[in-house]
A and B are shown apart, each in its own frame.
Chain A
C-alpha cells in the first residue's frame, strides 16, 4: 500500500512565524501535491511538483512556497504565517501517467492553527 506521511497532525504557530509542513511518500511517485481544505470550499491546490526540484503553482499559491530536494519529500513553507492560513493541509502523491488513470494518494492531513 502507498503510504503518504505528514509530519504533524496538529500544529499551532504564531502570526509572522515561518512554518514548515513536511510530507513523505514511500512509493517512488513522481508527483506530489499540497492542498488546503476549508469548510464549504473543498480542496484547493496550493502547489504541486512533478519531479525533484520542479514545481508549479496551483490555484492559491500566494503566501506559500515549496521545496522538493528529494523525490520522496515535499515541503510546504508558510513564509510569514497569517491567521487566514489557519486550515487543514493535505499532501498527496501519484505516479506520472504517460496516458492513464493514476489516482492520488493522500496523507492524514495537518490541522494548522495560526494565532
Chain B
C-alpha cells in the first residue's frame, strides 16, 4: 500500500517570502500522479498543483511550484511571494496511474501560517 508522509505539522512564513512544504511517499509503482491540495480555514479543499510521475519537468502554477525527485520519492511544494490568502492546511496526495475511481492517498497535512 502507498503511504504519504508530511513531516511538518506546522510552518510559518512572512508575507512576500518563500516557503517550501515537504512531502515524501512510498510506492513500488513507476507511474503515478501527485497532488497538492489547499484547505483554507472553514473553506473548501481546492487543488493547487499536480504532477505526473512520468514527466521530468516540475509542474508550476503561478507562485506555486514543485520539486519532484522521483528517485528520492520526494514531492515538495514551493510557494513564492507568500500572501495572507495562502494561509491554510496543505495536503500532499498520491494517486495510482491506473485503476478505477482515481483513489487518493493523503498525507497528514501541514498548517501554513502567513505573518505580516
Count contacts between A and B, CB distance < 8 Å: 58
B interface bracket (residues with beta carbon within 8 Å of A) = 20 to 34
B103 at the interface (CB under 8 A from A): yes
B43:A43 contact, CB within 8 angstroms: no
Q: Which of A2-60 contact B (CB under 8 A)?
A: 30-31, 33, 35, 40-45, 48-50, 56, 58
Q: Interface code B30-71, partner A: CB below 8 Å = 1, 0 otherwise? A: 000101010000011111001010000000000000000000
> B-side binding surface: helix, strand, loop or mixed?
mixed
Q: How far is the CA of A42 from the CA of B5 in the complex (A)?
A: 10
Q: Which A residues are in CB contact (< 8 Å) with B50? A: 101, 103
Interface residues of A in 93-111 (CB under 8 A from B): 94, 96-97, 99, 101-104, 106-109
- A97 touching B102 in the complex, CB below 8 Å, given contacts A106-B44, A107-B44: yes
Please name the residue on chain A nearest to B46 by beta carbon: A106
Instruction: Kindly state the separation between the CA atoms of A58 and B1 in the bound complex, as whole angstroms.
Output: 12
Residues of B within 8 A of A (CB): 4, 6, 9, 33, 35, 37, 43-47, 50, 52, 91, 97-98, 100-104, 106-109
Name A residues whose Cβ lies closer than 8 Å to a Cβ of B.
Answer: 30-31, 33, 35, 40-45, 48-50, 56, 58, 90, 92, 94, 96-97, 99, 101-104, 106-109
